[in-house]
Amino acid sequence: MMKTTQSTLLKMYENSEKFTVLTCYDALFATILEDAGVDVLLVGDSMGNVLHGESTTLSVTLADMTYHTRCVARGSNKAFIMTDMPFGTFQVSPELAFKNACKLIAAGAHMVKIEGGHIMAETIKFLTQRGIPVCAHIGLTPQSIHQLGGYKLQGADTITAKQLSQDAKILEKAGANMLLMEMVPAKLAKKITQSVSIPTIGIGAGVDCSAQVLVLHDMLGLYQGKKARFVKDFMADANNIQEAITNYVLAVKAGQFPNQEHEF
Ligand code: KIV
C-alpha cells in the first residue's frame, strides 16, 4: 500500500485534485477513514470538545495530543497524519515550539498544525527549516476564542480581510507547507487560495480551497444543539459510517461539498 506523503498531496494540488481531511482521534477510526479514502487524518485539538466534553479546546495538553497521535498512527497504514499543537505549547518561543513539535512527530505525526497569523511566522520558519512540516491555521482560530469573542466569521470586513490575505502570504513565505482557513467568506478564501502556491484546506471557507476538512463527529451527525452552517451530516443519507465517509470523500473530490448552503 502506497503511503500518502507530503509529495503525494502536493502532486494532487498541482493536478487540481482536491484532497480530503477529517479529524481522527483513535486507531479504529484511523483504519475506517483511510479505508474509505480519506487522505489526511487530523488529530485535532477539537478532541477537547468532542471527546473531553469541554466547551473550548484550551485545556487540551501536549500529553493528550501525543497519546491520540500514537493511537491514530497505530491504526493507520497509508494516510498522512497532521496533529494540532495545543494551546500554550508553541506561542512562547520557536525553540519551545520545536521541542514540543518533536514529541508529536515522534508519536507519528507527519505535520503539525499551528493556529495564528503573521505572529507565528518566525516559529513556522524555525520548525520548517529544521525538518518539521507545518500547516498554518488562520481565520477562526479556536485557541483565541476569548480574544475573538466567540465562534464567528472572520475576515468579513475590508480591514480584517486584508489582514488575512497578508497573513497568508507571510506564512507561506515563512515556509508553511499548507494553510487551513476556518470560517472565512468563500470569496476571500478563493482569493487567498489563488494568491498562494501552497494547498489550502477549508472548513466553512467555501468550495474553492484545495482541500476540505470537517470534524468527524459533526459529519457523522453526532453533535448537540444546532448544526453549524458549514457542517453537512453525511449519516443522514447513509446506511453506515463507512458509507457516510465514502460519500464525504466523493463529494469533496467532485467539488460538490461544500455548496452554497454551507458557505458564508
Ligand atoms: O481541531 C480541529 O478539529 C481543527 C479543525 C476545526 C480544523 O482544527
Cell triple for residue 15?
493536478
**Ligand 1 near 218 CB (within 6 A):** no
Fold that domain 6-262 belongs to in CATH: TIM Barrel (3.20.20)
- Summarize the confidence of residues 28-40 as an average pLDDT: 98
> Which residue among 111, 182, 212, 219 is best mutated to probe the pocket of ligand 1, counting the most ligand atoms within 8 A of its Cβ?
182
Beta-bridge partner residues of 133: none
Q: How far is the CA of 8 from the centre of ligand 1 (A)?
A: 22
The residues spanned by each domain of the chain are 6-262
Which range has the worst mean pLDDT, 49-53, 181-185, 221-225? 221-225
Give catalytic status of residue 34 as yes or no.
Answer: no
> Taking residues 138-151, what's their average pLDDT?
97
How confident is the model at residue 32, as a pLDDT? Answer: 98
Q: Per-residue pLDDT averaged across 256-260, rounded? A: 97
The residue-averaged pLDDT of 91-112 equals 98
Mean predicted lDDT score pLDDT of the chain: 98
- Cβ of 84 less than 6 Å from ligand 1: yes
pTM: 0.98
**Which positions ≥6 away from 44 have C-beta within 8 Å?**
23, 25, 84, 113, 215
Give the Å distance between the CA of 83 and the centre of ligand 1. Answer: 10
Q: How far apart are CA 10 and CA 56, in angstroms?
A: 32
197 C-alpha to ligand 1 centroid (Å): 22
pLDDT at 225: 86
* Marked catalytic residue, from 172, 182, 243, 261: 182
Q: Over the stretch 118-143, which tens digit does the pLDDT of each residue have? A: 999 999 999 999 999 999 999 999 99
The predicted structure's pLDDT at residue 25? 99
* Residue 64 pLDDT grade (very low, low, confident, very high; cuts 50, 70, 90): very high
